[in-house]
Amino acid sequence: MMQKFYFDHNATTALDKKVLGVMMPYIEMQQGNPTSQHSFGRHARTAIEEAREQVALAIHAHPSEVIFTSGGTEANNMIVHGAAIKQRESTLVRSNIEHPCVARPMEAMKHQGWKQALLDVSQDGVVTKEAYKNISAENVSLVSVMLANNETGAIQDMSLLHDFAKEKNALSHTDAVQAFGKIDVHFDELHIDAMTLSSHKIYGPQGVGALILNKRSDIEPLIYGGGQEKNLRSGTENIAAIVGFGKACELISESMKATSTHTHELKKILEVHLKALGAVIFSEKVVRLNNTTFFAFKDIEGSTLLTALDKKGFAIASGSACSSVNKEPSHVLLAMGIDEDLARGALRISFGQKNSVTEVRDFIEALRKELQTLKQLTAIAA
Amino acid sequence: MTKDIARKPIYLDYSSTTPVDPRVAEKMIPFITEHFGNPASRSHSFGWTAEEAVEEARDEVAKLVNADPREIVWTSGATESNNLAIKGASHFYSTKGKHILTVSTEHKCVIDSFRELEREGYTATYLEPEPNGLVDLEKFKKAIRPDTVLASVMFVNNEIGVIQDIEALGNICREQKVIFHVDAAQATGKVDIDLEKLPVDLMSFSAHKTYGPKGIGALYVRRKPRIRIEAQMHGGGHERGMRSGTLATHQIVGMGEAFRIARIEMQLENERIRKLRDKLLHGLQDMEEVYVNGDLKHRIAHNLNISFNYVEGESLIMAVKDIAVSSGSACTSASLEPSYVLRALGRSDELAHSSIRFSIGRFTTEADVDFTIQLLKEKIYKLRELSPLWDMFKDGIDISKVEWAAH
Amino acid sequence: MAYSDKVLDHYENPRNVGTLDKDDPHVGTGMVGAPACGDVMKLQIKVSDDGVIEDAKFKTYGCGSAIASSSLVTEWLKGKTLDQASEIKNSAIAEELALPPVKIHCSVLAEDAIKSAIADLKSKQGKLI
């Protein structure tokens, strides 16, 4: 089998073996329903509460602030829907580079009588103080700005979000799915009301995430039923995944600094060479995640390059995985005012714990060759 | 942990949740360890393997209920499926009307979805079942109004195991042009489901009630005639826009395998389980003042719900701690209220309080049943010896006529 | 629900289960609670001529905490005078058995049962005098 190079950690990560270890008993052995009162049920309950503490510890929140969901998408839908319902016909505010699972629910609320206002990002992909000032709406129920962008890796200034929410007396929310595990996240110091986390981006299992909601915030549930998760999220708990998520949180807290330094080294090597080859690196001038590089070559078709690199065993992404089904240029780059043709060619590399310098060197070599081939083809065509 | 295993009670709570079948676990594990990948990543082969596995599992789920794989939408479980079906369809077709119909003995997540729609301005009817737990077809028909947009009836009740006549109810809905949703979380692998024949528009499934993993389920959405629903979770547009969110590949694979096994083994398994259930029933019926809740004929083989008169429910559960069973539904057992399902059947609060749901499954043995009968007989005797109500009953006093001091 | 060891002990080995002759003038019977509420407690005390409780018996239909509460009070009652008996407070029962908040009503019921048994005895003896 051909060697594989996985450079798409912002899409999903491979489960850590230690995480799998704690999950296995919950997959293989007799398990109870955590709501049941017999000993099977009580064991399941204890396991969930331990995981809740592990999640809380990793982000400096209180365990009672952790609401388990089926993933980041659900958590984002939950806060948008849940905050909106509490305040009929209010305005929902978000940046114009939010992930679709924040953007789309807001648009859905728009059809039901709510208003939406957008915070424009600068050409570097960040929401500036001026952008907040441009929002004139008064009756704001929720403002959501992602902590780190999944495509560019650009990190947003949370104090601006907090100040704005305070001024408008609105709930503040940040989608921290990409940031968590890559930078220090202190929920208690950010002074944000709600935050979204996802497990499968931090070497935990898929199918689980959390909404962190501070105790002062009151929202309506998205899924009604048996009243699990303090009535905010009904449905039998996904124990194996929750336990795995808890362990992944514990492990990521331990390894984050080392991984961050390591991926930063890889990124520096990568970017030096990319630039030498003539690439444009997006959000280069602002603080970005240490593992993410979003780039494009002028006049080079991104999808052709992507397919060619995949054949050689390099798994990279064009924009975000969730929207890779359609061929539209990245909405993030368009929001930054990047030329449409350049945006269409954008590729993302996101490193993880296990990537090595050798892999990066191999990638650069492969890329150089592909670029040469493509340029020759273009030359012939011309 | 080994110490815990040694003294684990006998599990007779399969309707709360089933263990993952070892064959299912085996199939899931490679997808957690090796074939990881975001199935929505179309740009590289890591994502492709995941997508193939997801589609194979979708085929298996569809096969069990004789549906088209394109009619299966993945969700995080039956609770989400029920929320999505009920709110999604009611919203989408709200121009037709704002009346919705269900049965008072439905699972809490159906009832609560209805309550939420009521808050949004819909009118809801909660039909009372007959004392045997079944829905009367005439009453159901009469409850439908010109502005009824959706009706929701569960296939198999989680507490008493009765099977509703889904075909007849569905035909009524078809005639009246009402969208028909069925919660089949407790039905898969226990009753034959043929969605090519059944006039059902939407059907909810759960994996963890059928030996699959927790945290995954599905919603069947009919294509012909096409049923539309409004998404409840928006985002990357997964599942043809009906349900966004990254799919947990290993869990989907697990559900597919669990449903495949159910399809192949259902017939034989049900026969075996029916024998065990009947043995349990006969063993317990030896005692006086024992009442079976719900119809026995129209009932899955796995369920036995019995009230032991003059014995209080919680002390009964304590007495039988060597077996894991439920009193009422697992989802409401944290509250001290008697089961609303049993109350809807007209059972007195006392009988509702003293009910036990035994649910038998794939790994239950005859020895488990023998032990259970023995244990119950012993403990019921002891608790009745403790019970002042039992004394009164033995003295010929009609307890329902006694005036109890307000408490 | 987690029960304390003391509750479990009384539940597994209830003390003084049984019935005293309710027509005996020295016996007071208290029956409190209602089947619909999930608890019925019957408590009987037998009192000597000098007003000391010689014997106490109970039967309880109810949860483990209700059974334990009534079992415990039968132990406490023996040897007490009626005045001492009427001073037994539900909080003492709850504390002794480490009842969780949702089970406090069981201890209240046990206190009510004592009062009811004493009242029954007094009304009987009043009639006799």
Subunits next to A (3 or more Cβ pairs <8 Å) are B
Strand order in B355-359's β-sheet? B290-292, B303-308, B355-359
Q: Please, which pLDDT band fits residue A344 given cuts at 50, 70 and 90?
A: confident
* Res B41: pLDDT: 61
Asked whether residue A323 carries a pLDDT value surpassing 90, the answer given is no
* Res A326: pLDDT: 54
Q: Is B21 helix (H, G, I), strand (E, B) or coil?
A: coil
Among residues A11, A68, A238, A39, the alpha carbon closest in space to that of B28 is found at A238
Question: A200 and A8 in contact (C-beta within 8 Å)?
Answer: no
Output phi, psi for B73, to 5 deg. Answer: -115, 125
ipTM for this model: 0.92
* CA–CA dist A83, A171 (Å, integer): 7
* CA–CA dist A11, A318 (Å, integer): 11
Q: What is the DSSP code (8-state) at residue A239?
A: H
**Which residues 103-122 of C are in CB contact (within 8 Å) with B?**
109
* Res B300: pLDDT: 98
A27-41, A118-132, B292-306: least confidently modelled range: A27-41
Residue B334 at interface with chain A, using a CB cutoff of 8 Å: yes
Asked whether residue B64 carries a pLDDT value surpassing 70, the answer given is yes
Asked whether residue A52 carries a pLDDT value surpassing 50, the answer given is yes
Q: Is B344 helix (H, G, I), strand (E, B) or coil?
A: helix
- CB < 8 Å to B403, chain C: none
Question: Which residue has better confidence, B349 or B1?
Answer: B349
- CB < 8 Å to C31, chain B: 388
If you measure CA to CA, which chain B residue comes closest to C43? Answer: B388
Asked whether residue B332 carries a pLDDT value surpassing 80, the answer given is no
* Res A319: pLDDT: 62
Asked whether residue B331 carries a pLDDT value surpassing 50, the answer given is no
DSSP of B68-114 = -GGGEEEES-HHHHHHHHHHHHHHHTTTT-SEEEEETTS-HHHHHHH
pLDDT digits (tens, 9 = 90+) for C88-119: 999 999 999 999 888 899 999 999 999 999 99
Token pair for A209: 């995430």
* Res A259: pLDDT: 95
Q: Please, which pLDDT band fits residue A32 given cuts at 50, 70 and 90?
A: confident
* Res B42: pLDDT: 57
Token pair for A33: 């329903």
pLDDT digits (tens, 9 = 90+) for A104-126: 999 999 988 999 999 999 999 99
The contacts of residue A145 (CB under 8 Å, 6+ apart) are A94, A95, A98, A119, A127, A156, A158, A161, A174
Element (DSSP H or E) covering residue A378: helix A357-381
* Res B45: pLDDT: 64
* Res A150: pLDDT: 95
Asked whether residue B329 carries a pLDDT value surpassing 80, the answer given is no
pLDDT digits (tens, 9 = 90+) for B114-135: 999 999 999 999 999 999 999 9
Model-level pTM? 0.88
pLDDT digits (tens, 9 = 90+) for B217-252: 999 999 999 999 999 989 877 888 888 887 688 999
The overall average pLDDT reported for chain B is 90
Q: How many whole angstroms from its chain centre is CA A119?
A: 19
Token pair for A310: 């995949």
Contact A225 B248 (CB under 8 A): no
For chain B, what is the largest distance between any 2 Cα atoms, rounded to a whole number of angstroms?
Answer: 79
Please compute the mean of the pLDDT values over residues A54-74 and round it to a whole number: 96
- CB < 8 Å to B237, chain A: 100, 104, 322-323, 325
Contact B330 A41 (CB under 8 A): yes
Q: Return the top range by mean pLDDT from A160-174, B18-32, B341-355, C98-112.
A: A160-174
| One-letter amino acid of B201 | D
* Res A132: pLDDT: 97
* CA–CA dist B238, B51 (Å, integer): 12
pLDDT digits (tens, 9 = 90+) for B145-163: 999 999 999 999 999 999 9
pLDDT digits (tens, 9 = 90+) for C33-43: 988 777 899 99
Please compute the mean of the pLDDT values over residues A192-209 and round it to a whole number: 95
Q: How many whole angstroms from its chain centre is CA B404?
A: 36
pLDDT digits (tens, 9 = 90+) for A249-304: 999 999 999 999 999 999 999 999 999 999 999 999 999 999 999 999 998 888 88
Other CB atoms within a 10 A radius of the CB of residue A268 amount to 13
- CB < 8 Å to B310, chain C: 61
A85-99, A145-159, A315-329, B274-288: least confidently modelled range: A315-329
If you measure CA to CA, which chain C residue comes closest to B319? Answer: C12
Residue B398 at interface with chain C, using a CB cutoff of 8 Å: no
